[in-house]
Amino acid sequence: MMRTRPLKVALLGCGVVGSEVARIMTTHADDLAARIGAPVELAGVAVRRTGKEREGIDPALVTTDATALVKRGDIDVVVEVIGGIEPARTLITTAFEHGASVVSANKALLAQDGAALHAAAGEHGKDLYYEAAVAGAIPLIRPLRESLAGDKVNRVLGIVNGTTNFILDKMDSTGAGYQEALDEATALGYAEADPTADVEGFDAAAKAAILAGIAFHTRVRLDDVYREGMAEVTAADFRSAKEMGCTIKLLAICERSKDGSSVTARVHPAMIPLTHPLASVRGAYNAVFVESDAAGQLMFYGPGAGGSPTASAVLGDLVAVCRNRLNGATGPGESAYADLTVSPMGDVVTRYHISLDVADKPGVLAQVATVFAEHGVSIDTVRQQGKDGEASLVVVTHRASDASLTGTVEALRKLDTVRGVASIMRVEGE
């Protein structure tokens, strides 16, 4: 039997995502009510400035006083899609204090202060859901937090930023340079006017922190995530990747150590074999590859950004939180019982592709090989091309730690025969 009194929802933010959330709440009101067991009512919308016409939203619901809205006391669920750290953090904790559960899409805040927000939700017996914070419409947090709760996740490897994937895919498919591909992404609306958060990996790093925390039941903060942007990736790197049967993606990688005592989280460009499922993810799409003991290998794929896809994830959380509200229950909170050590990047072991500019004369290869051997880095393959006294030397290693590779490169730079290190790229997904 359906309850007639509606559950009241406060919406913080009415931009691309917020306006879609409001639209779906209105146009799908009957379906949402049937799925929840009670109608949901948009009780207020907080925005920065009033006066703008917002299609489908009663102007009487619009306010610039977000604090007063979340303090009303009759709000059941607050949906936060304003982003940033403040005032979002204060508004969310205030919502808990005044009896509301929260649905958020705020990856930056959750990566930085997720533990404190979970603690505040737990203190007041309220829900904190955030499926939309990681990969848009792709159901990912709930499968990790609930469907795989009885399994042991060992690795999460993913493309979690559509802008960077569009740029790298364009470079791969057309041979375009980085700036040319970025300009096209901007013209098509995939990249912001200031693309720094995307191309420098900040967006993906926040998502990696959230995913690692859930997957490994360990608190992982944004500061724990190694981050490397993609502005230095060149058309030459893609040519080298193709020669190896690979492509290049900006990856978020979260993995458990072999002995199970520690985890790492990192974001950086990497070569992956064309045979790996992530290699075929094109355009602005996202995909996340999960490896666990019992389930084996799973891949989640779909649109990772945009108003409608992100709103879909928000509404999914809203339905779950409203159901919990009706049942007088809460869903899963933070699970950080494992409390594993978060290891630094220097401990990460992977393969490397190193391109060197060297003098084209006898003995160079032997000198380079000696440096690798002295630092305990085993070479898999070497390719050398020379012309007019200059040459390029491409070395692909077996698995080595980041720390040992760093020492190797520092020593290579000191050789008189090495003119420069053109590029260093990790090789993942094997």
Catalytic residues: 207
170/178 Cα distance (integer angstroms): 9
Report yes or no: 67 and 91 within 8 Å, Cβ to Cβ: yes
DSSP characters for 330-393? Answer: -------TT--EE--GGG-EEEEEEEEEEE-STTHHHHHHHHHHHTT--EEEEEEEEETTEEEE
Tokens linked to 14:
């009415």
179/424 Cα distance (integer angstroms): 20
210/142 Cα distance (integer angstroms): 12
Angle at the Cα of 126 from the Cα atoms of 8 and 96, rounded to 5 degrees: 75
**99 backbone dihedrals φ, ψ, rounded to 5°:** 95, 10
Ramachandran category for residue 183: left, alpha or beta (phi over 0 → left; psi -120 to 50 → alpha): alpha
Report yes or no: 289 and 158 within 8 Å, Cβ to Cβ: yes
**264 backbone dihedrals φ, ψ, rounded to 5°:** -135, 150
Tokens linked to 108:
């930056």
**Residue 131 in 3-state DSSP?**
coil
- Gyration radius (Cα) of the chain, Å: 24
377/12 Cα distance (integer angstroms): 52
- Report the DSSP beta bridge partners of residue 300: 288
- Report the DSSP beta bridge partners of residue 383: 394
Nearest alpha carbon to residue 427 among 397, 406, 405, 404: 397
Report yes or no: 250 and 266 within 8 Å, Cβ to Cβ: no
Tokens linked to 300:
């989640």
Tokens linked to 304:
């990772």
DSSP characters for 10-27? Answer: EEE--SHHHHHHHHHHHH
Nearest alpha carbon to residue 10 among 40, 32, 42: 42
